Structure 1
Amino acid sequence: MIAKHGRARDKRAMLPALTIIDDFLSDPWAARRAALALDYAPPGAGGNYPGRDTTGALPVDAIDASVSRQLGVELVGAPGTEHGHCRMTLKADRGRSGVHVDPAFYSGILYLSRPEDCLKPGAGGTDFFRHKRTGLERVPANGAELAATGYDTVDDLVADVVNKDTTHPAKWERVMRVPMRFNRLVLFSPWQFHTAAPGFGTDPESARLVMLLFFARAGR
């Protein structure tokens, strides 16, 4: 959930709304071990999201380069985001917000939960939504689309749609769930209305474990 957007929207329509890359890392088990070895914020210290984030990031240069090649755009970590940090979410974890958009040019989620945990009932990946009152599935990509919504500015739309209804599940209709799969990278436009599927597991080994990726265009 964010309130201001501005330049993060520049030319965002040129990239695909959603890309799924399976078997992304050559050694995902090493990445998983490294993720579990990081320091995590204490329970209850999370922000709007359910679960606990790491206090530091995993190395991301190779990931940035690989994603840049995949998309044909030079990308770097978005300033002020948790690019490369990991998040661990247990079944009992709850957050203070739900459906949201990200303050980035492009977003990514790398799933690092064990294969057997990804297959369990309820082990969801990432959910995308339609806002029932407006019929919107994303923040408009240009001025013409924005004008058609009846809102004067993007910030007005986000305030009245996303921030107002983020914690009201009945206001949203889920249109798609990307299933959780070990070593699956999901890349998507951050301006689509989305949220993480519910957490699972009872300890770090069995928890929902992901690496968070928030990209900016190089030189911007």
Structure 2
Amino acid sequence: MMLPSLLVIDDFLADPMAARRVALELDYDPDNKHGNYPGHISTEPLVVEGLNERIGKMINAPVKAAENTSHMHCRVTLSGDKGRSGVHIDPAFYSGILYLSLPEDCKGGTEFFRHKRTGLERVPTDLPAIQKAGYTDINDLIEDVVNKDTNRSAQWTRVMTVPMRFNRLILFSPWLFHNSGKAFGKTPEEGRLVQLMFFAKG
């Protein structure tokens, strides 16, 4: 089954302002920072009713929440916030990002990259393609490409940016090399506000 590499859905929520208000009211405890990402993540999820069913229809594959991820949690990233990693992949079957920053504040988006040394734009998941790239298994490839070069910007070429737009959902293969775009704003109300989605096979 071939899943779409990237989908962009505008006007995803029927009432995005209500979702944004709830997102901003969530608790963004700095002590809840477990990942390598910049900014702060909410301690509780932002519930979107019927999400799994909607996404499953869009990609023609049943999905559920991926365990041990920040599925449906929100993240606020302000100007100057730094993370420990850069270009990365996601531990999921499929990934999604819903933009909740106001139209007048939106900057950047989500960036996708090609690895210069290998020419790869994603981690191949079939053994022949992994071997063609010069590796014996997928873990060796991830270690040598993603983990080794995550913060080495000179090792990557940006091939595409999906621009941030209020109430835009992007869905994409977690194996694509990607990174969050520009952080901005001095307060959560004007900062980069997104909802994260990490799906497992349903």
Report the TM-score range of the alignment, normalised by the length of the smaller protein.
over 0.9
Counterpart CA distance in 2 for 1:33 and 1:166 is: 34
The gaps in structure 1 that reach 5 residues or longer are: 1-10
- Any conservation in 2 of the 1:46–1:52 contact (CA below 8 Å)? no
Aligned match of 1:170: 154
Q: CA RMSD in A?
A: 1.3
Q: What is the letter of the counterpart of residue 184 of structure 1?
A: R
User: In 2 relative to 1, CA 77–45 (structure 1 residues): closer, same or farther, beyond 3 Å?
Assistant: closer
User: In 2 relative to 1, CA 178–190 (structure 1 residues): closer, same or farther, beyond 3 Å?
Assistant: same
Counterpart CA distance in 2 for 1:86 and 1:146 is: 34
Equivalenced residues, count: 202
Q: What is the letter of the counterpart of residue 66 of structure 1?
A: R
TM-score (norm 2): 0.96
Q: What is the letter of the counterpart of residue 193 of structure 1?
A: F
Deviations 1:142-180 (A, max 9, x none): 111111011001000000000000011111100000000
Query: Out of 37, 48, 69, which is 1:49 matched to?
Result: 37
- Any conservation in 2 of the 1:99–1:162 contact (CA below 8 Å)? yes
Q: 1:152-171 to 2 correspondence within 5 Å?
A: 152-171=136-155
The gaps in structure 2 that reach 5 residues or longer are: none
Counterpart CA distance in 2 for 1:175 and 1:61 is: 34
TM-score (norm 1): 0.89
Provide the secondary structure at the position in 2 that maps to 1:115.
coil
Counterpart CA distance in 2 for 1:133 and 1:41 is: 39
Give how far 1:72 is off: 1.6
Identity of aligned residues (%): 58
User: In 2 relative to 1, CA 44–60 (structure 1 residues): closer, same or farther, beyond 3 Å?
Assistant: closer
1:145 aligns with 2:129: yes
Larger strand share, 1 or 2: 2
Give how far 1:60 is off: 3.6
- Any conservation in 1 of the 2:32–2:43 contact (CA below 8 Å)? no
Give how far 1:141 is off: 3.0
